[in-house]
Amino acid sequence: MTERDAAFEDGREAPLNLGAFDPEDLQILSSLSQDAVFPITEMSWRPGMRRFALLINRFRWEDDGQARHGAERVRSLLVVDNVLGVSSQGIDRSDKDTILSLLSVTFEPGEEGAGHVLLTLAGDGAIRLEIEALEVTLKDVTRPYRAPSKKAPSHPV
């Protein structure tokens, strides 16, 4: 038998790749994204593709190994498709050094599956996405890394 060091892949902590097509699924994505931080420059609105995306640094709420290796974050893409329009409040897009903190992602239903996805930010900021149909994905795109603060945010959802 050959001995070898444990590898990331040996753990049962696989990267997330989740989709939400109804409000209940969106609640799960929201709780996994709570307290994510991102530079204002990591927001992207592509009208031709009808896509709004954030590259976030999310806390790994689902991680059962915090006692073993400490608090971790991971870079993830939070993507909303079928977006017809974007509006925001309480955000100064001209200040490129701004770091935003995501508190929640919610759905405000309209008619025939349409409505709005609301991204609520700390400090009274918000981004409101007019959507034709609810389709949101959350996908981890890096390996987890030790949270710079070395601790979990104060409260999960």
Rounded CA-CA distance 105/11 in Å is 29
Cβ neighbours, 10 Å, residue 51: 15
What burial class does residue 134 get, using C-beta atoms within 10 Å of its C-beta: 0-12 exposed, 13-18 middle, 19+ buried? Answer: buried
**pLDDT bracket for residue 135 (50, 70, 90):** very high
- Compute CA 113 distance to the chain's CA centroid, rounded to the nearest angstrom: 22
Q: pTM (2 decimals)? A: 0.85
CA nearest neighbour of 88 among 139, 130, 36, 127: 127
Q: What is the pLDDT of residue 152?
A: 78
Nearest 5°: CA angle at 61, between 109 and 52? 40
